[in-house]
Amino acid sequence: MNDSADIEKAAERLRIALSELAKNLDPILDRMSRLEAAVEESRKFNEDRARLAQDLDNSQANLAIVSAREAKMSELAQKTRKELDNAIEDIRALMGENHGPEGA
């Protein structure tokens, strides 16, 4: 055989090998694409989880602040109620003293 025929046969074998390689790579590339999509989904899931954890921490901190304020308001309401009760008792006592002997 001559060099030209040998080169032609080698070129044909190369084309066939490349075609087979491309056929075999397609499933691998498809699998890689699906794995990349799964990695991206996992990354987004982790970001969401981190954001939700931060939101939960913030909510718990806010709840602690609100609870502390609520306790302070309750304490102030109780003190105010006591002061009002004392004022009412004082007014009743004064009214009883002023009306008691004179009204009799």
- pLDDT bucket at 55, cuts 50 / 70 / 90: very high
The 10s digit of each residue's pLDDT in 65-94 is 999 999 999 999 999 999 999 999 999 999
> Letter for the amino acid at 82?
K
Token pair for 38: 């799964």
CB atoms within 10 A of CB 95: 10
- pTM of the predicted model as reported, rounded to 2 decimal places: 0.51
The DSSP code sequence of 27-91 is HHHHHHHHHHHHHHHHHHHHHHHHHHHHHHHHHHHHHHHHHHHHHHHHHHHHHHHHHHHHHHHHH
> What are 19-30's pLDDT values in tens digits?
999 999 999 999
Cα-Cα-Cα-Cα torsion 68, 72, 78, 83, nearest 10 degrees, comes to 180
